């Protein structure tokens, strides 16, 4: 696994740092299907937030909650999701490195996933890839077998009626990154 954080070029707008703590940064998501799509990224290598040690976990919740508050103030809603990876799993979004997506969706992503995910368990299983989703009303863990890369992004793109534009490497949506920077830069002061 490479250190995703260390590979970021902070001179690029898509790596604009909105917030930073000792162990985390908040940056826009390349391929943001909506304005306001951010990621909470650890500076150290982890496959998922479930691997964070206690002290780092507290810091993670602090920066995540601060990010949620800022998204809510600007957009009136928020959704969180994580594609929790394990070694050799393809469930992630294409980056096998812990990162949590925070975005303002106007639909219930949990309901969308429930309709489109066939084989999953909600019983906690170690060493099993997972999808975690939380919105302003509820939260849910899905423990799954390997799922196609960018599965959640595909579902979001379908709900937004831009189904073919889900892939962040092909459709970086710089216009949404620009909009996010413009809308949120002063929120994190």
- CATH code for the domain in which residue 59 is found: 3.30.428.10
pLDDT band at 81 (very low <50, low <70, confident <90, very high): very high
Q: Residue 93 — φ and ψ, nearest 5°?
A: -90, 15
pLDDT band at 178 (very low <50, low <70, confident <90, very high): very high
Residue 131 resides in a domain? yes
Predicted pLDDT of residue 105:
98
Q: Please determine, for residue 43, whether its predicted confidence score (pLDDT) is greater than 90.
A: yes
Q: Say which range, 34-43, 124-133, 147-156, has the weakest mean pLDDT.
A: 124-133
Q: Which residue has the higher pLDDT, 171 or 124?
A: 171
**Residue 109 belongs to what domain range?**
17-184
- pLDDT tens column, 107-120: 999 999 999 988 78
- Is there a contact between 93 and 83 (Cβ–Cβ < 8 Å)? yes
Residue 11 resides in a domain? no
Task: Round to whole Å and give the CA distance between 134 and 140.
Answer: 6
Residue 7 resides in a domain? no
- The reported pTM is 0.90
Percent helix, strand, coil in the chain, to 5, is 35, 20, 50
Angle at 31 (CA atoms; ends 159, 41), nearest 5 degrees = 110
* Total domains present in the chain: 1
């Amino acid at each position: 696994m490479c250190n995703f954080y260390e590979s970021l070029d902070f001179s690029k707008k898509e790596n604009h740092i909105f917030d930073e703590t000792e162990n985390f940064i908040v940056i826009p998501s390349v391929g943001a299907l909506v304005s306001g799509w951010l990621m909470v990224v650890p500076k150290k290598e982890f496959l998922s937030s479930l691997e964070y040690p206690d002290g780092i976990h507290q810091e993670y919740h602090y920066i995540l909650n601060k990010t949620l508050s800022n998204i809510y103030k600007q957009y009136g809603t928020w959704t969180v999701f994580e594609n929790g990876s394990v070694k050799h799993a393809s469930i992630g979004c294409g980056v096998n490195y812990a990162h949590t997506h925070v975005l303002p969706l106007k639909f219930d992503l949990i309901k969308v996933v429930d309709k489109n995910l066939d084989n999953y368990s909600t019983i906690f299983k170690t060493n099993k890839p997972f999808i975690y989703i939380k919105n302003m009303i509820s939260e849910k863990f899905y423990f799954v077998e390997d799922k196609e890369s960018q599965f959640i992004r595909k579902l979001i793109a379908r709900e937004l009626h831009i189904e073919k534009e889900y892939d962040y490497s092909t459709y970086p949506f710089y216009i949404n990154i620009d909009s996010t920077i413009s809308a949120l830069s002063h929120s994190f002061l």
